[in-house]
Amino acid sequence: MTIRTRTILLAALLAPLAVAQNGRPNGVYRADFTIRDSGDAGAKMGRKYSMVLNARVKGQFKVGNRIPMATSSQPGSTQFTYVDVGVNIDCVVDEQDGKIGMHSDMDMSTAVMSEKAPSANPTISQIRLNIDTTLTPGKPTVVASFDDPVTSRKFEVETTVTKM
């Protein structure tokens, strides 16, 4: 092991101590989200998303695609704008009296192509959640459960926050 490698490893080990001495939060947590969709046959166990967070510091998780949407069309020229679809999760956690406080903003969207007009812009299906709750550390908890009024699909969001 080279001196440079040892120095980097030592700095990585001491970084949490330096953060705590500077007055910034030193609690580190892992937030696991499982999103179950009754209409997603390929994901019976749910889609899983995880992030590691410092206490009281917002973490962001974004995964998805950019979908082109025609905004104007003239002979020989079409202009496009792009829409982000997928899963976006913003999360902040903090611990007090053995419980975990969590604030999370979730945005789940998908593009649905028209079978009748395949060249038309897709319809964007979107679900937005704003969650403020208290969780028991390490215990999976359903923080949202709902029926989509348009498609009759059932959704469930389960979260586990664990102190590392």
pLDDT digits (tens, 9 = 90+) for 88-139: 999 999 999 999 999 999 999 988 888 888 778 888 988 999 999 999 999 9
In DSSP notation, 110-136 reads EEE--SS-TTSPPEEEEEEEEEEEEE-
18 has pLDDT over 50: no
Specify the pLDDT at position 49: 95
Specify the pLDDT at position 11: 47
Confidence of residue 10 (pLDDT cuts 50, 70, 90): very low
Confidence of residue 23 (pLDDT cuts 50, 70, 90): low
pLDDT digits (tens, 9 = 90+) for 42-83: 666 889 999 999 999 999 999 999 998 888 877 778 888 999
